[in-house]
Structure 1
Amino acid sequence: MSTMSVRSQERPSGRPLSVGVIGAGRVGAVLAARLREAGHEVVAAAGESDASRERAAALLPGVPLLKPSAVARASELLLLTVPDDMLPNVVRVLADSGAIREGQVVAHTSGRHGLAVLAPATAAGARAIALHPAMTFTGTEVDLGRLAGCVFGLTAGAGERELAEQLVAEIGGTPMWVPEEMRTLYHAGLAHGANHLVTLVSEAMEMLTAAGAADPAGTLRPLLQAALDNALANGDAALTGPIVRGDVRTVAAHLDDIAAKAPDTLPTYVAMARATLDRAVTDGRVLPIQARKIARLLDDVAWAAPRRTTNPVNHQ
């Protein structure tokens, strides 16, 4: 195990680093495994749950599971892959215990946080990097291939920028520099696009199941793949459907049937329909008179929804 501190402003060319990971969750275990494939030595990991232990055994065989302070002391590159809300306390406890030392590289994978959360570590002389993969993880070997070309949201000081880009290159990713003050907005954009997409797709499958579809996922897959590709390529110009066409009666019928047969999905449908209408009105694709009628439908549902159980909305 190497014990040399990384004191220069860049990693010595060709020399592997000893890597420790605190939080052997889906992200931490995968990134550590990828760094090991790139030639670094993963010397220790910390993970309390049974799932973390199983994941470490599968992706990091032979790597000992130690207490967080022991992991920090053993590593030149310390990866903190704990949940966002836990990160400030983890950094503070490690720094206060003396587990973080001068010249050590401390990198976290939080999308929301930047360098400020690592202030206790930098006060101890550590080199701080915020390194967030814009990817959803399963915590299995499947993720290793997905890292190729994955964008990493990076924030680092001038002395750590080259090292941060080098680590991302070794992982197989693509660097994207995010200013400290934009980290939260950057993360919100990713969460809105990915996390809310899962909710949206799950609710769409729920509607199709209620309509009698034997394979709702298979029904949606080609449509959603085409819609996603078109949206990524063309933005709002990819919008299709009854709202963009100004089909007021179709929207009203949707609201009635959803309220009657899949009521749990109604609030999301209304919220997304309102956002879609606003964007279609802005670029002039919906006539003002049609837009006002659709907006009234959505307003009526939003007002009535808290009191509705299974009674359909009637806009006939």
Structure 2
Amino acid sequence: MNRDGRLGVGVIGAGRVGPVIAAALAGAGHALVGITPGSDPDRVDAILHGVPVIDAAEVARRSELVVIAVPHGELAGLVAGLAELGAWQPGQLVLHTDPGYGTEVLAPAQARGAIPLAVHPAITFTGTTIDLRQLSASYAAVTAPAAVLPIAQALAVEMGCEPVVVREADRPAYAEAIATATEFSRSIIGQATGILAGIGVENPGGYLSALVRSTIDDALTRADPRGAVPPVLGDTIDG
């Protein structure tokens, strides 16, 4: 780590998440050393103009902090593969953004001296600069060994998030909660807009926009800290 606390950051994963996380960390003063190729280079360049595009092994070799933002099914194999190539460096920080894993998935990197961190910002990424504003109003699940937990929390803050510690053993349950919230919301909204379109309502998404947002805000306000589901039937009609 540099004396001023600034890091050379490399990103593995150029989908919707990686470039936005990189931009957030760059905004906090860190230097971007490279990102792996993606399927939409124009979008990535719009967010990270001029950042070198290099392969994953080179990202790992050059970086003091490696951010891994790849699909869930690819993460374990990627980490292990880079370990076999000798790409991980002693003392470097390796951070992944997957909700379903803690730091155990980073064990091959840790075995070679890297410091494992798991930080999942709880937003739905669009892959655009809009996400930077969303990050500033969001939370992030943070999992790390106790000795380096403050580093993970500090990086979450630098991304714009409020860190919330999630234990390693609780990451599967955390991932289930995230999946329930996102997938159920998409399914229900898709069903409702389909019904409205079927009866001739133009722009059904726009029609439901205020209703859905206000209903979700109300549900979040009513949410029981113990996880109980609040009664809501009829609330949007009868007040």
**Shared topology, TM-score over 0.5?**
yes
Deviations along 1:186-206, one digit per CA (max 9) or x if unpaired, are 111111112220121011000
| Distance in 1 of aligned mates of 2:43 and 2:150 | 31
| 1:221–1:48 distance in 2 versus 1, CA, 3 Å | closer
Within-5 A mapping of 1:84-123: 84-123=72-111
Give the CA deviation at 1:26.
0.8
Residue type matched to 2:21 in 1?
L
Higher share in helix: 1
* Equivalent pair of 1:21/1:79 in contact (CA under 8 Å): yes
Residue type matched to 1:130 in 2?
A
Give the CA deviation at 1:181.
1.0
Query: Given the alignment of the two structures, is residue 44 of structure 1 paired with residue 37 of structure 2, yes or no?
Result: no
| Distance in 2 of aligned mates of 1:169 and 1:229 | 24
| 1:88–1:203 distance in 2 versus 1, CA, 3 Å | same
Give the CA deviation at 1:172.
1.3
**In the comparison of the two structures, how many residue pairs are matched?**
231
Which of 169, 192, 201 aligns to 1:181? It is: 169
Which residue matches 1:211? 199
Within-5 A mapping of 1:1-316: 6=1, 12=3, 14-49=4-39, 51=40, 53-235=41-223, 236-241=229-234
Give the CA deviation at 1:238.
4.5
SS of residue paired to 2:17 = helix
SS of residue paired to 1:129 = strand
TM-score where L is the length of structure 2: 0.92
Residue type matched to 1:100 in 2?
W
Provide structure 1 residue ranges, at least 5 long, that are not aligned to the other structure.
Answer: 1-5, 246-316
Give the CA deviation at 1:48.
3.7
Where in structure 1 do 4 or more consecutive aligned residues deviate above 4 Å? Answer: none
Give the CA deviation at 1:162.
1.1
Bigger RCO (CA 8 Å, 6+ sep): 2
Deviations along 1:216-265, one digit per CA (max 9) or x if unpaired, are 123322221221122111244341249xx9xxxxxxxxxxxxxxxxxxxx
| Distance in 1 of aligned mates of 2:114 and 2:44 | 26
Larger Rg: 1
| Distance in 2 of aligned mates of 1:125 and 1:218 | 51
TM-score where L is the length of structure 1: 0.70
* Equivalent pair of 2:15/2:38 in contact (CA under 8 Å): no
Which residue matches 1:274? none
Residue type matched to 1:179 in 2?
R
